[in-house]
Structure 1
Amino acid sequence: MLDKLKQKLPPIKWDKNKNTILMGIAATVISGAIIFSLWRSSQGYTALFGSQEHIPIAQVVEVLGGESIPYRVNPDNGQILVSESQLGKARMTLAAKGITAVLPVGYELMDKEAMLGSSQFMQNVRYKRSLEGELAQSVMALDAVEYARVHLGMTEASSFAISNKPDSSASVILRLKYGHRLTEEQVGAIVQLVSGSLPGMKAANVRVINQNGDLLSEAYQTGNNGLSMVKTGPELAHKLQMAAEKNIANLLNSIVGLNNYRISVATQVDLSHIEETSERYGTDPHTIDENVSQESGNDDSATGIPGTLSNEPAAQADTGPPAAAVISRNQSQRKFAYDRDIRHVRHPSYKLEKMTVAIVLNKSAPAVEQWTTQQLDELKQLAEDAAGIDLKRGDSLTMNMIAFTEQAEYQEPILPWWQEPSILRWAEMIGIGLLTLLFLWFGIRPLVQRLTREEKFPVEAVAASDQRTAQEEKEAEPQLGEFDTEATDEKVLAKALPKSPFQEEENLPSPSSGLETKINHMQMLAYSETDRVAEVIKQWINSNERSNTESNEQTS
């Protein structure tokens, strides 16, 4: 096979430019190999860590270099790139060396010795930065928080009882982990954590923002010192629906089995804010105040100085019966009051007006297909109790059995063979090889052939030219006459002198050849050796002028 291919391919003939051609081919091949290797080496590199992770780059580079793990630095964002095959090894090595994400600096700043002559302002700044770092570390302890920063706006304490200085405030910037979100309770916990860490800071002055610029604390705070804000209607309705569906699902999972039922809950919520004050009185009155005064007597009241004999009545002569003296006084006052009960009631900010529940059971399920109507009614009663159905409120629950449509099992899509990664990898390599062969065949090969092509004259034209030249020389010999000696001397001198590259005219016709022969030879010479065309034309012109001069001398 190889021999046949060699026979079909024309042999390459090298001329004096052989070294230059070989050097050009070698340079082209080496350049292509370097470009291909650089292109291949740029593939398969991935980021060692995310762009948002605070990793000490200097320590990472030092460890990777010490462990001989190849890496690159992305010039756009400064990320460390490693080969995909070395990614796991690189991360395990960094973890073993204790290189982790840089956390905000806390009270460690206070451990550093203060510079001599530092002002009180610098001390306050260091304290503020350390406090911000400690709060950030505390917030980052949450599972959903990847990184946090805290900014404190603290006002200095004043010795005056009345001050117009603004209250202290704080801002918390969070970067959440992918796929995580904070609930309202978690946002409130962060607000209370920050406000409780600084004396005198109010929860209403704390703002929490995520990496997307969303103000998370807005849904939590109100003007009432950070009390929980009323949820919006759709959020509250969705929460009630999810709670009812969860209760019913927990009941049905163990009875009819998973995926053998469907639940739909619809709610109507009244978001009116109601506060009422009521005063109630008891049925029986009670005595709250009673005054009774009663006095009766005669004139034999004691007079004089207390404790002396003058208080004793004097002996009187028996003059007859005394006159009767009567003194009587009676006073009574009684107050009654009823029991009173005053109540101030603040109702929740929402009221569930109505709930409608629809449940569909799979009739073809083995656990349900043999059920009776009584069993279905019993299950319906259990579902009503689980969902909290109140008939007085207008709630309703409907349960039916319907055969479900069989759902096809999910199957991973089968990729065609030409889309498999291994096939694509081999196709890429084969394509690169074919492009290289095409470049060598249609690019390098024609260039080499053009540089190494030798001048090829038609055999017939050369033979005819030689015959014509010999005949012309024979015809010119009798006419030379007295110039034979000089012509012979010139031929001898020409043979004795060294020939120049442009004087080697073995393949060129003589100056006396026909015009058509000269044109054919000039075309071949211009195609193969362009640098000799001008010299040959010059020689032919000089030869023609010399022959014209000789003919003129003979004529004269």
Structure 2
Amino acid sequence: MNEQLSRAFGQIKDIVLNRMTGTQRIVSASILAVSIIGLAWVISSNTGTTWASAGTIENPAELRAAIKALEERKLTARMGDGNSVEVEVGQVGEARMVLMAFAEDTGANVGMELFDKSTFGQSARQEQINYVRALEGELARSIRTMEVIRSARVHLAMPEKTVFIREEKKPTASVTLVLESGRDLDKKQVRAIQRLVANAVPGMVREGVAVVGGDGELLSQGQDDQGADGGFELKNQIEREMERKLLATLERIVGVGKARVQVAAAIDYSQVTENVTEVDPERQVIRREDVTNENSVTDSPDVTGVVGMSGNDPQRQENLSKPPKSSKNKKREEREYDNSMTKRVIVQGGARLKQLSVSVVVDGVWTGEGDKASWAARSDPELQAITQAVKVGSGLDEKRGDQVSVVSLKFEDQDIVDEITEEPAVSPFMLEMIRWGIGVFIVLLFIFGVVRPFLALLRKPTEAPAAVAALPEPATPSTGAETALALNESDAPDGTEEDDMKAKQNGDGTPREPETPLLTRGEQLRLKAIEATKQNPARAVELVRAWLTREA
């Protein structure tokens, strides 16, 4: 084992000192140092405790009891900010289960499990109270599932049922929320909480649910509040949108960061109803027409006869003459004329832009560089051109009383830093993934930056020593029948340049023609190695040692 370690260290030393260049040594040392530092950071960060909130308990005594209950379950817990219970990241789920069981035992935020235990002898009033408590607890648990909410309490006002429909009242609810640090609820989430509570209680409407933040701020709004708040939001939206458009235009003219725009809009929310009646005297129409025809026929009265019994005698009446009949005809026509009339009802309501005021401040012109830089205000023609551009871009109307102001002032020579809103912290899971990702990257960097180059240099054939590198090259055979190769002059033990020249010439002094070798290339190399070994055994031994070292 010690021999293998010694041989491994010897190979590493040989690679670093003999085979690697100076640049390779510097790069390998840098990568090795970065890898060691990175791995040390990953190990230290993973060995440290990462805390996460498992819940919130408002009562300090119950909070201490809950931490003690977690410690009894072998869970690492501590008291966090805002009466919260913090545990290790990997123990959040188990800790929440323990806290829920603790809340059930202490009677806080109980749910429908309140009815798991059958109790005999309870009155209807007690059952109703327990039902309201259970419903409040279930709603609070559902609301706490939202990521931005630390704790929640729900209070339900359930009116008693009555036989009179007109006197029946709708139930209402109040929800108190404690948000996580740096988090906030938007209007959609508030409306979702209202609808969640309203749908869980029969007869409750969303407007009857009041949502209040931990600092006492009313997060929900009734019908009357929505109109006022909606108008305020519309005003801000108009102002911000106009500022954005004007600033984008001005920065193309004076440069980025060299203009400031402030817009103030007056919005009229009044509603006007206008009744208009139009009469056309040129056009008359019959408004009412009444035609009456009367025809009547009457008989003349009988004034003849004798008073007394003779007048009442029927036989005497038949002999008397009858008087003539009279008739009457009557016709009446009534017509009422009226002019053509048009009635219109115009209702003007909603938001109307009543007045607009725009203030623009632009930086001047800088000339020169460094300490020799000088500032000068912009010229009046340039300011007038900017004013005209602002008027057209914002749609200013002088008849409406709109105002615009454009001035050139010197800006402070410093960077403008906008207010940074605190962003929510990265989730513990993402932090864990980032740590492991950095660790994997460091391992890959070490493998491809240090290990792989070492292995490549280790597999590279070992260079022969200087003596072995000077072994002779194959020489051209003197005759076709020769089966051995001649050595170079440097490898011959006692040869000279004159002997070599004579070997390449014929007997009469003319250059000898090279002849095609009869042996294969492999056979030539083998014969050459045998001849070189015979002539220089010491160098052959060094070569064999080098081969054995490389194979080992």
Same fold (TM over 0.5): no
Question: TM-score interval w.r.t. the shorter chain?
Answer: 0.3 to 0.5
| Higher relative contact order, structure no. (Cα contacts within 8 Å, ≥ 6 residues apart) | 2
Q: Which of the pair has more CA radius of gyration?
A: 1
TM-score by length of 1: 0.42
Larger proportion of strand: 2
